[in-house]
Structure 1
Amino acid sequence: MFRQLYSALTSENTVNQAYEDLTRMLQHGAWMFARANEVLYSTVAAEEVREPLYERDRAVNDLERSIRRKVLRHLTVNPGHDVAICLALMSVAKDAERIGDYCKNVFEVGAFYTEGFHVPKYQQPLDAMAERLTAMFELLVAATRDSDEAKAHGVIAEAKGIRGEGDRLVEELLRESEAVEFHEAVAYSLLARHYKRVASHLANIATAVIGRLEDLDFYPEGDDSALD
């Protein structure tokens, strides 16, 4: 629905071009997430990834600014038209930009903490969250590219599960009665937080894809996953 709404906005395709920028932002985010986790699992050296990852982040930032310019141009030429849709596009572009920031955060955990993970009851759920998020990126790229609402609903459902798992892990760490190395515990809690936030921003973009613009940045009472 989101793409169809964009297509109706302008014969000059200004906002359609902004939509393509959003898809590219997500593709960059997927690449950054994959590289950050390779560093985390020590399959690639941090110094090998650092500059390419930060270069991608700069590209994401440039694309967000490009989306803003295109939306403002459209609203200037067509004052009062399609305001809600244009604001939604700018909102989800910010989500895509924030995903890049959290990918950098995951990278930093892997770059700064190099002692390895030794507590399976924390490591294994986090590994599973990373795998699910990788699949969510692929699903959302397809959903935005093809205006596929079924895929977007799948992203939202997966995000809900990941957010709950992230909360559970942090709570369990805080209640931990057995000894866990301090820096390892910090790494687990940071990863749970970062993965949860990536999931939340992916879900917010998916919410726009299915046309539920009134639900952007909204979470039911009791859900502390409000976006940063």
Structure 2
Amino acid sequence: MSIFTEIISVWRKEDLLSEAWEKSLEMLDLSHNMFVKAVKKSKKQESLSVLKQLKNRDKEINKYQREVRRKIITHVSLQNNINDISSIMVLMNMVVDIERIGDYSKNILDLAIYYPERLNTKILHPELHEIEQVVKSRFDKTVDAIKTEDVELASKLIKGFKKQVTTASDRIVNNIISGELNLESGSESAATVLYARYLKRIGSHLKNITTTVINPIDSIGYQLKDMK
């Protein structure tokens, strides 16, 4: 049994922590849904009202985060059990990462609102399109890994992150800044750089969430040397 599975079994024995965990999963699903729709809508030149309506879903994610915090704080104040602290930190860290993904999904929608063209990554840059597809796939698999407590899947996701997301995103950004990669307009260059960065940050927060499944508590959010 993994440490993560043991932690969840502890949460499920406590009403408030069990509720906090369920809310966290709902929050993760909402964040996932918002990201998928943000990517999809950014390619269609949707109306301003549609994009702003989707942006407002970030407020729902923030509401979930407050609910989770409230339940955790109430549990701590009622139980006063220091043995729960380490497992509670795992949950708190995870909801912070989920909330940040919501923020970056909102940034993607802002990009769709202000960029005058469709955010078609196949046209903008082939490697950017590849990163986009990788992050979408990673999001699907991260949700699965968390819900099923799948250690093997989590390990695979962490091992491929740097090459598939970080290095690829940095290469696009650095090539545009250095002048090695010239796009058709300043707005196209800016949109490509911003989108590459948003995808990288979403991927990074997904990696942090994935580490909760396999890493020791003091290493959550970090990629251990033997996983690079």
Supply the distance in 2 between the matched residues of 1:211 and 1:119 (Cα, whole angstroms): 34
CA RMSD of aligned residues (A): 2.4
2:205 pairs with 1:201: yes
Supply the distance in 2 between the matched residues of 1:135 and 1:94 (Cα, whole angstroms): 21
Match of 1:154 in 2: 156
In the TM superposition, what is the alpha-carbon distance from 1:113 to its structure 2 partner? 0.3
In the TM superposition, what is the alpha-carbon distance from 1:193 to its structure 2 partner? 0.7
Match of 1:168 in 2: 171
Aligned length: 220
In the alignment, which of 174, 187, 191 is matched to residue 187 of structure 1?
Answer: 191
| Paired AA for residue 197 in structure 1 | R
| Paired AA for residue 61 in structure 1 | N
Supply the distance in 2 between the matched residues of 1:118 and 1:64 (Cα, whole angstroms): 32
Supply the distance in 2 between the matched residues of 1:216 and 1:147 (Cα, whole angstroms): 15
Supply the distance in 2 between the matched residues of 1:13 and 1:76 (Cα, whole angstroms): 14
Segments of 5+ residues of structure 2 without an aligned counterpart are none
| Paired AA for residue 98 in structure 1 | R
Q: CA contact under 8 A between 1:117 and 1:123: conserved in structure 2?
A: no
What secondary structure does 1:76 align onto?
helix
TM-score normalised by the chain length of structure 2: 0.86
Match of 2:68 in 1: 67
Q: How does 1:67-106 map to 2 (within 5 A)?
A: 67-79=68-80, 80-106=82-108
After superposing on structure 2, the runs of 4+ consecutive aligned residues of structure 1 that deviate more than 6 Å are: 117-121
Q: CA contact under 8 A between 2:42 and 2:112: conserved in structure 1?
A: yes
Q: CA contact under 8 A between 1:39 and 1:111: conserved in structure 2?
A: no
In the alignment, which of 10, 13, 37 is matched to residue 11 of structure 1?
Answer: 13
Match of 2:214 in 1: 210
Supply the distance in 2 between the matched residues of 1:72 and 1:121 (Cα, whole angstroms): 48
In structure 2, relative to structure 1, the CA distance for the partners of 1:104 and 1:6 (3 Å cut) is same
In the TM superposition, what is the alpha-carbon distance from 1:189 to its structure 2 partner? 0.6
CA-to-partner distance for each residue in 1:49-70, whole Å, 9 max, x for gaps? 321x233211111111111112
CA-to-partner distance for each residue in 1:173-207, whole Å, 9 max, x for gaps? 11224642111111111011100000000000110
Match of 2:40 in 1: 38
Supply the distance in 1 between the matched residues of 2:51 and 2:123 (Cα, whole angstroms): 28
In structure 2, relative to structure 1, the CA distance for the partners of 1:178 and 1:129 (3 Å cut) is closer
TM-score normalised by the chain length of structure 1: 0.86
| Paired AA for residue 72 in structure 2 | V
In the TM superposition, what is the alpha-carbon distance from 1:46 to its structure 2 partner? 4.3
Identity rate, percent: 27
Supply the distance in 2 between the matched residues of 1:75 and 1:10 (Cα, whole angstroms): 15
Between stretches 200-209 and 29-38, larger displacement belongs to 29-38
| Paired AA for residue 21 in structure 1 | K
| Paired AA for residue 128 in structure 1 | E
In structure 2, relative to structure 1, the CA distance for the partners of 1:27 and 1:117 (3 Å cut) is closer
In the TM superposition, what is the alpha-carbon distance from 1:102 to its structure 2 partner? 0.1
Supply the distance in 2 between the matched residues of 1:130 and 1:54 (Cα, whole angstroms): 19
